[in-house]
Amino acid sequence: MTLMTLENVMKQENNRTILKDIHLIIKEKSQIGIKMTNKESIVFFKLLTGELTPTSGIIEKETSRILTEFTEDGLYEDLTVSSYLHAFKKIADFEKPLEEFIGIFSLSDVWNTKISRLSFDQKKRVSLFRMSLFSPELLLIQSPLSHSTIEGTELYIKAIEYLQSNDVAVLFTSHFLEELLLLSHDIYRYNQFTGLEKTDLAQENTAMPADKTETGMMPNHVYKVSSKSADKTIFFSPDEIDFIESINSVSTLRIGEEYFPTDLTMNELEDKLTNFGFFRCHRSYLVNLQRVSELVSYSKNSYTLILKGNSNVKLPISRNRLEAMKALIEF
Amino acid sequence: MKLSLRKIHAVLQLKIKLMLSNMSILFTPIFAIGFVIIMGNLMPDVDVGDAGVPFSTSGFLLSFGLIFNIAIGGISMSSSPIAEEKEKHTLRVLMTSSVKGGEYFIGSMLPLLVILVTTNILLIPASGVSFGEIPVLTFLIITTLSSLISILIGYIIGVYAKNQAQATLVSTPILIVLTSTPVLKMFNDDLAEILNYTYGGVLANLAETLSASSEYQWNITDTSVLFAWLLVTLGLFIYVYKKNGLDH
């Protein structure tokens, strides 16, 4: 069952485009992660709840049982976990005894503790427990694990799995792809130039069906750069990558503000990516020429490439490589 | 806007729990009673005619306690929690948990009103005035209406302010004017005439009769002033709420 459909949604505030080219379908039980900034996330959630109206595009809602949690949301710190949740139980008109669910949210040992004494992890689970009382169909949660410990993350994921087993769809946003990898099955990245793009993921334990590999039908001219993170491998299309940098002899993909290490060497990457518009501007840098916006000369022999939308990133280019680049892009 | 009694009750219970877990909000009413008792023991017991002018120490203390409780207590106890909830982002959580603004305000107002009215009544024996000496019904009507107006003024400040510091900054001049109304009325007749059209002025008139041991006479001006203030503050509160909302 589809809970929400967004078609070509765009939102401007004060003549500034906050979101654009948003195409998304949220289905029942889905666990979606979207990498976006805090501001984009707040506007996006407000669009989904109907608090804001999109500048253009269509948002079709099949549910009104949507709850949001922003990073800055607070709890009544002077109350105990029990009295806080009982207050919201009454607001939500939740009928079952709360004690049945304490274990699911791993709050048994702090049930009668003041919220002010809880850790960040525990507060996040209290918040999740509170939202679950309202029998939501869709939860919108902003970066819940940004300050979590490993144990806290495990317990939070356990609670999320319980909600998912009760047909709740959850949409997370975060600035960190690693966080979304832990929480979501489908991951998207929001790019201010290209809009919302789905990121390809492969689970390490996902086996390829035998009959498909044996048929010998292999597509041509497809290449993705992979990066391993936790138990998942993320695949990036060449056009998503801004540039590749060699840091301590490790080739590192730079995508927006994030870094992803790969196992390939710079030379291997250069061989693979030259056909996709990448150029070795420096021994340690391989740049996606589609992302280059400016060439600046600070002195006679010193040139710098500046990338689109990120003027802070300056990549060096040597004089002889400049000639090669000129020949390549004909300027 | 259809309000849910269950949610009003839930907010009421939540507010009572919060008050019990953090008693600092009760400081002003407790201070008003304590101050009146202590001053009652320290001040000489002057009664009508002793000094050539109609004056009663206990009546004076009662009037002081009333203005302190209603003006300072009423406004600060209603503005501060809203500003605090905004600052700590707990109000947004309530609002996104299907609680409507009306349910929140009614649920929060009831315990405040009970505390203020109870304190107003307790101030009578605390100041040494016997219940027989004052028109109790008139006293209850005027003090309860004034308390309600103070709560509404506090709500307006709370809705307008973005945090507690701003709420304190905005409410301080209002509190100074309200608490000094009886004194200002004594010093300047023209100002006294203007102040008669404020709810603090009506409260001061009641307090004046209590301290002079004379009987308060209901009049059309005081009645109109009280109801006009109630309507104006309610209207202003609704306007500010609709303009700013609770989550700005």
| Structural domains present in chain A | 2-198 (3.40.50.300), 240-329 (2.40.50.1020)
**What is chain B written as a DSSP string?**
-PPPHHHHHHHHHHHHHHHHH-GGGGHHHHHHHHHHHHHHHHS----TTTTSS---HHHHHHHHHHHIIIIIIHHHHHHHHHHHHHHTT-HHHHHTTT--HHHHHHHHHHHHHHHHHHHHHHHHHHTT--GGGS-HHHHHHHHHHHHHHHHHHHHHHHHH-SSHHHHHHHHHHHHHHHHTHHHHHHH-HHHHHHHTTSHHHHHHHHHHHHHTT------HHHHHHHHHHHHHHHHHHHHHHHHH-S--
- Does B92 contact A93 at a Cβ distance shorter than 8 Å? no
Question: How many contacts (CB atoms, under 8 Å) link A and B?
Answer: 54
Question: In Å, how far is B232's CA from the nearest CA of chain A?
Answer: 30
pLDDT at A208: 47
Chain B residues with CB-CB distance to A83 below 8 A: 17, 21
Collect all residues of chain B within an 8 Å Cβ-Cβ radius of residue A114: 21
Asked if pLDDT for residue B25 goes beyond 70, the answer is yes
CA distance B228 to chain A (A): 35
Q: Does the beta-carbon distance from A130 to B97 stay under 8 Å?
A: yes
Residues of A with CB under 8 A from a CB of B: 49, 67-68, 70, 72-79, 83, 87-88, 90-93, 114, 130, 134
Domain borders along chain B are 5-244
Please tell me the predicted confidence (pLDDT) of residue B207: 74
Interface ipTM: 0.83
Cα-flanking dihedrals φ and ψ of residue A302, to 5°? -120, 120
- Contact predicate A36/A187, CB 8 Å: no
Residues of chain A with pLDDT under 70: 200-221, 230, 298-301, 311
- At residue B177 the predicted structure's pLDDT band, cuts being 50, 70 and 90, is confident
In B, residues 83-142, which contact A (CB 8 Å cutoff)? Answer: 88-90, 92-94, 96-99
CB contact (8 A) between residue B97 and residue A134: yes
Tell me the per-residue pLDDT of A169-221, one tens digit each, with 9 for 90 and over: 999 999 887 788 788 888 898 887 778 888 766 554 444 444 444 445 555 56
pLDDT at B1: 67
Q: Please give the pLDDT value at position A306.
A: 84
